Amino acid sequence: MNAPHRVALAVANIRKTFPIRLGMFRAPLTLTALDDISFSVDEGETVGIVGESGSGKSTLGRCILHLVQPDSGKIEFYGQELTHLSKEEMRQWRQDIQVIFQDPLASLNPRLAVGDIITDPLRSFFPGMKRNERRARALRMMDEVGLLPEMINRYPHEFSGGQAQRIGIARALITEPKLIICDEPVSALDVSIQAQILNLLARLKEEFKLTLIFISHDLSVVRHVSDRILVLYLGRVVESAPAGDLYASPKHPYTRALLTAVPIADPKKARERTIEGLVGEIPSPINPPSGCHFRTRCPYAIDECARVRPPLDSAGEGREVACIRWKEIDALGMAAATRRPEEVEAALQ
Amino acid sequence: MAGITGKDAILTRYAARLDELDRAKGQSLTRDAFRRLRRNKAAMVSIVVITLIVLAAIIGPYFMPWTVRQVDYTAFRSPPDWSKFHYLGTDQNGRDLLARLLQGTQMSLLVAAVATVVSVTIGVTYGAVAGYIGGRVDAIMMRFVDVMYALPYILFVIILVVIFGRSPVLLFIGIGALEWLTMARIVRGQTLSLKEKEFVEAARAGGARTRTVVFRHIVRNLTGPVVIYATLTVPEIIITESFLSYLGLGVQEPLTSLGTLISNGAAVAEVMPWLLIPPAVVLVTLLLGLTFIGDGLRDALDPKDR
């Protein structure tokens, strides 16, 4: 980026809860999907959002698009506040914010031909556009994403997952958006196809000067594409850092645990390693642990962790960590992450 | 490289031809379904038979020596008599039964078609809107359907007869307007599952308005269940019509319908069986045929559910 950083998207204190009705006479429970999330995305940047399933990644993406309405907080897109727009105004803004979905086949209407699927946004945003013009644009976009022109009249079930995802990408690009939210775009694909799609996204990003938000549970995928990474745990940001730094020296115990959980191809090395923490499942977002949400699975947890919600502290060079003990843990180095819990305990005392 | 045998040239030409043939010809789901339907013998035979009945009912009367209103004073209660062109005999008033049968079939089919179109239109729109909007709107709309279900429809028909008079078409628009209840429930159920699909979300992200989402993305995916249910509604309405005519609430003389003919024939079945058997055979054939077509369509449209 040669131009001064322009903030494309600023998300401030977003909260989203879902009521869970138990019946007519019982008070509904609340599921907190997003708990006070703030971050910003610069123009031209790729921000990766990682977390386990249930951490609120996808809900965050849908909130930005206003496919689900956030309970509170602000979402600003190029300085324009989106949260208070009317339905119709928001509809117009969707031209500039598009989305690529996780399940490529499910995101295509089985009754429409590919050409119609790709040009569907054009029909909505430019109702006056001629059919020929739309088809011409579809063909151009299909060429961009590596689909053959004769596929234009085929139907989704005739395509493989990778091709279907290319159709999804073509549809997202056809309105020439500024920001694309990729919601696990490759997790449903074979590894070899994943690489193709990721490279395609990288090329299109340069070509169309896109800003990307890349949601995934796969750390190696996110690392490949992101400039900056946000780690989510139970609806909260636990760490945010430039991609290189995060992988080199993760500071939050959760990030450390995630990174040690990335599979290693060499079975010998894999056997020598024990994974830090991360025993058990992610707690239920209906009744999350008090204080730090991660404390129930954290090898470094102390009593203090149950009392206060750890603030998102600045940890130097554009990094932020939400852990009250991050400095102590950081001092242990990454080697500690692959040690047994008893050893870690000993080192800390 | 042109080989000695010229095989390359042939292959190239062949590839080009294949390209040409395949171009712009997507294998749509509908086309797939038709292919499967063609393999279903019962359904195909039914389609042929029903087409013949429909054609006969529409075109037949123009070729008849006797019209519906004509009375043959030389032949009352006559069994089939080819010399006088009463191929199926005459009734107590000397009217030709074949003429009346064709006219009655026409009336029954017309009623079934009108009522089905009405019930599909109302049912699909109502169900899709209720299902898609959901929440309180859905609850209120579906409770209304429940209430309508609970009321005996004979009561409605009697009220409709009073309101519309004895106009058969209006009456059966009314019947269609009652038949939509089941359709609305089916459509709502399907919509509930469809609206959670990612392509609906994708459509919304692509700027589609609610109306577009409902009619372009949801209703289109309902074709399967709707077509099937519609083919099964047709016989249901024919039966309803027969029943109402039997009670004297349906089609009025001199017009007739299959139900009226059967009811007249049933009264004299022992002495004049030729008045009962032909309309009964036509009715049964229609019902069986339509049911087979409905079954065939279900298998063709939802190959997974078989």
Q: Which of A124, A126, A142, A152 to probe by mutation at the B interface, max B CB count within 10 Å?
A: A124
Q: Are A259 and A250 in contact (CB under 8 A)?
A: yes
The predicted-structure confidence for A32-82, as pLDDT tens digits, reads as follows: 888 888 888 999 899 999 988 878 888 898 888 888 888 888 898 888 888
- Cα distance from A54 to chain B (closest Cα, Å)? 18
* B51-305 CATH, one of 1.10.1530.10, 1.10.3720.10, 3.40.190.10, 3.30.505.50: 1.10.3720.10
- Cα distance from A139 to chain B (closest Cα, Å)? 13
Q: What is the pLDDT of residue B302?
A: 65
Residue B291 has pLDDT above 80, yes or no: yes
* Contact: A155, B28; criterion CB under 8 Å: yes
Q: What is the pLDDT of residue B3?
A: 47
SS3 A338: helix
**Above pLDDT 90, what percent of chain B?**
12
The phi, psi pair for A233, rounded to 5°, reads -140, 120
Quote the tokens at residue A61.
Answer: 């993406």
Residue B305: which pLDDT band, with cuts at 50, 70 and 90?
very low
Closest-CA residue in chain A for B221? A111
Residue A333: which pLDDT band, with cuts at 50, 70 and 90?
low
Q: Are B233 and B288 in contact (CB under 8 A)?
A: no
Mean pLDDT, to the nearest integer, of A229-257?
A: 87
Residue A278: which pLDDT band, with cuts at 50, 70 and 90?
low
Residue A336: which pLDDT band, with cuts at 50, 70 and 90?
low
Q: What is the pLDDT of residue A179?
A: 92
Look up the ipTM and state it: 0.81
Q: Which chain B residues have a beta carbon less than 8 Å from that of A175?
A: 206-207
Residue A167 has pLDDT above 90, yes or no: yes
Q: What is the DSSP track for B241-285?
A: HHHHHHHTSS--TTS--HHHHHHHHHHTTTT-GGGTHHHHHHHHH
Q: By CB neighbour count within 10 A (0-12 exposed, 13-18 middle, 19+ buried), where does A346 fall?
A: exposed
Mean pLDDT, to the nearest integer, of A226-253?
A: 88
Q: Which chain B residues have a beta carbon less than 8 Å from that of A153?
A: 24-26
Residue A213 has pLDDT above 90, yes or no: yes
The mean pLDDT value of chain A amounts to: 83
Q: What is the pLDDT of residue A1?
A: 44
The predicted-structure confidence for A119-142, as pLDDT tens digits, reads as follows: 999 988 888 888 888 888 888 888
Q: Are A174 and A123 in contact (CB under 8 A)?
A: no
* Contact: B198, A153; criterion CB under 8 Å: no
Select from B199, B207, B221 the Cβ nearest to the Cβ of A107.
Answer: B199
Closest-CA residue in chain B for A100? B202
Mean pLDDT, to the nearest integer, of B110-133?
A: 89
For residue A208, the one-letter residue type is F
Distance CA A21, CA A18 (A): 9
The predicted-structure confidence for B240-262, as pLDDT tens digits, reads as follows: 887 877 777 777 777 888 888 88
Q: Which chain A residues have a beta carbon less than 8 Å from that of B203?
A: 109, 120
- Cα distance from A124 to chain B (closest Cα, Å)? 5
Pairing of strands A72-77, A7-20: antiparallel
Q: Which chain A residues have a beta carbon less than 8 Å from that of B22?
A: 150
Residue A21 has pLDDT above 50, yes or no: yes
Q: What is the CA radius of gyration of chain A?
A: 22
Largest distance between two CA atoms of chain B: 89
Q: Which chain B residues have a beta carbon less than 8 Å from that of A107?
A: 198-199, 201-202
Between A2 and A20, whose confidence is greater? A20
Q: By CB neighbour count within 10 A (0-12 exposed, 13-18 middle, 19+ buried), where does B244 fall?
A: buried
Q: Are A185 and A224 in contact (CB under 8 A)?
A: no
Distance CA B274, CA B279 (A): 9
Predicted TM-score (pTM) of this structure? 0.78
